Amino acid sequence: MPRPMPRLVVFDLAGTTMQDDGFVASVFERVLVAEGLDVSAEAVSQVRGASKREAFLQLAGDPARASRLFDLFISSIHDHYATSPPKEVIGASLIFQWLRDQGVKLALNTGFERATVDTLMEALHWKQELFDTIVCGDEVSAGRPHPAMILEAMRRTGVTDPSTVMVVGDTVLDLQAGMAAGVGWILGVTSGAHDHARLLKAPHTQLIASVADIRELLR
């Protein structure tokens, strides 16, 4: 028999539903260099998908220094997207609407804090009510790979059975969080921060090229 539709789909933002032009990673590296920290591109790649505050704390080590780096990072992000508005991944809005038409609940989870997410949502022309809930990195006790954001999305939407939940993300940490939450579908999107070879080594049920492929996968 065909597998039933998920009750809830939890989407990542940057690199999964919003196009990743490499700017986020480049800002990470730039503010670290400005602070005099010698951090490799691989080290930055490993924290992609994590809470931004936690990522800087992990890379910098010192809380005060990490806070300074975070503030500079957020300022740079806002300045960039004010002049170069982000774009959604082609087909993302169509997938959102199709899932809604099937009675599926939608959640967005992201390592960005709420103020940045509100700015990005407005720039993407996505209405807040497009999603049943949006869980930000500053609203939970721990960032990825901890499943706190996924569990909070479940709590807010009233979905209690993790086997009925689908998690969609473009980083290893996204997929590890899905595994930690015990969800039924863990979809790795290969068009974002981490490529197919890297995601292949992470927990997953399927790897897809784009969120636009979800309809065909479920159909």
| Mean pLDDT of the 149-165 span | 98
| Mean pLDDT of the 86-111 span | 96
DSSP-derived secondary structure letter, 10: E
Q: What band does 55 get if pLDDT is binned at 50, 70 and 90?
A: confident
Between 50 and 124, the higher pLDDT residue? 124
% the chain with pLDDT above 70? 98
Q: What is the pLDDT of residue 3?
A: 65
* Ranges of each domain in the chain: 8-20+86-218, 23-83
Q: Which fold has domain 23-83?
A: DNA polymerase; domain 1 (1.10.150)
Q: Cα separation of 159 and 118, whole Å?
A: 25
% the chain with pLDDT above 90? 62
Q: Cα separation of 146 and 64, whole Å?
A: 23
pTM (global) more than 0.85: yes
Query: What mean pLDDT is reported for the chain?
Result: 91
Q: What band does 191 get if pLDDT is binned at 50, 70 and 90?
A: confident
User: At residue 90, does pLDDT exceed 90?
Assistant: yes
Cis peptide before 145 (omega within 30 of 0): yes
User: At residue 13, does pLDDT exceed 60?
Assistant: yes
Between 184 and 73, the higher pLDDT residue? 184
Task: Please state which CATH class domain 8-20+86-218 belongs to.
Answer: alpha beta
User: At residue 6, does pLDDT exceed 90?
Assistant: yes
> Which of 153, 203, 140, 152 lies closest to 173, judged by CA?
203
| Mean pLDDT of the 98-105 span | 97
Q: What band does 49 get if pLDDT is binned at 50, 70 and 90?
A: low
Q: Cβ distance 139 to 107 under 8 Å?
A: no
Q: What is the pLDDT of residue 160?
A: 98
| Mean pLDDT of the 27-32 span | 82
Q: Cα separation of 183 and 177, whole Å?
A: 9
Q: In what order do the strands lie in the sheet with 165-169?
A: 133-136, 105-110, 8-12, 165-169, 185-189, 206-208
User: At residue 2, does pLDDT exceed 60?
Assistant: no
